[in-house]
Chains A and B, each alone.
Chain A
């Protein structure tokens, strides 16, 4: 079945560094989403993107909807310890969301 591939699979960074991660699909989506999962919790929506080429920010987070509609990028600036978690991209289909494989982020002080 359809699955979105995320890279990198995991990242280990120092507090204060910037982070970039991406998500690719073999098919087109009209909406891309980014969720974050804190340890021991369910995922929570961070950013939603609705138009190809769109660049959207939410505080230190910036996400872009790729022009081909087959990819998306998430950047985190000036990372802090509470950024630790798993980041998932998701593509919207009728009736459901398809999630990516996830990027696990560890932030060291």
Chain B
């Protein structure tokens, strides 16, 4: 299994609070991605990174920010959580951008109440 660890695995938070999800990889892959998974919508890309300090927006980036200060860590922050951000969040890594084999973490289930 690819070395990807997401933390926390589960979190319940209140509306309006800040939340940070962490993705840690041990594969030294250049590309890292954050997706959210919702019924009927599949996997939608939030943000991605193509190197340290290099990030770009995906299709559902509003309300989210990311940071990548080290190759191995990619953080996703919800500055002020809303109920619409209740979802399962997946981190993925790939060696090459848009590489066919993206490796996924086990997901973080976030509930905003």
List the interface of chain A (C-beta within 8 A of B): 1-4, 6, 9, 31, 33, 40-45, 48, 88, 92-102
Task: Please determine whether B90 and A42 come into contact, CB atoms closer than 8 angstroms.
Answer: yes
Apart from A40-B107, A95-B56, A96-B48, list 12 A-B contacts with CB within 8 A.
Answer: A1-B60, A3-B44, A41-B107, A42-B103, A45-B102, A48-B100, A93-B98, A94-B97, A94-B98, A95-B48, A96-B33, A97-B98
Q: Is B63 an interface residue (CB 8 A)?
A: no
Task: Please determine whether B59 and A3 come into contact, CB atoms closer than 8 angstroms.
Answer: yes
A-B interface, 10 closest residue pairs, ranked by CB to CB distance from nearest: A42-B104, A1-B59, A95-B97, A99-B43, A101-B42, A102-B42, A48-B100, A92-B98, A99-B42, A45-B101
Q: Which residue in chain A gives the minimum CB-CB distance to B96?
A: A95
Q: Is B106 an interface residue (CB 8 A)?
A: yes
Number of interface residues of B (CB under 8 A): 28
Task: Please determine whether B42 and A31 come into contact, CB atoms closer than 8 angstroms.
Answer: no
Q: Is B70 an interface residue (CB 8 A)?
A: no
- Chain B hits for A40, CB < 8 A: 106-107
Task: Please determine whether A98 and B45 come into contact, CB atoms closer than 8 angstroms.
Answer: yes
- Chain B hits for A94, CB < 8 A: 97-98
Task: Please determine whether B43 and A88 come into contact, CB atoms closer than 8 angstroms.
Answer: yes
List the interface of chain B (C-beta within 8 A of A): 4, 31, 33, 35, 40-45, 48, 50, 56, 58-60, 90, 92, 97-98, 100-107
Task: Please determine whether B106 and A41 come into contact, CB atoms closer than 8 angstroms.
Answer: yes
A44 shortest CB reach to chain B, Å: 7
B24 shortest CB reach to chain A, Å: 14
A18–B98 CA distance with the chains assembled, in angstroms: 31
- Chain A hits for B44, CB < 8 A: 1, 3, 99
- Chain A hits for B58, CB < 8 A: 1, 96
A23 shortest CB reach to chain B, Å: 10
A-B contact pairs, 15 of them (CB 8 A): A1-B58, A1-B60, A3-B59, A40-B106, A41-B107, A42-B107, A43-B104, A45-B100, A48-B100, A88-B43, A92-B100, A93-B98, A96-B58, A96-B98, A101-B41
- Chain B hits for A97, CB < 8 A: 33, 45, 98, 102
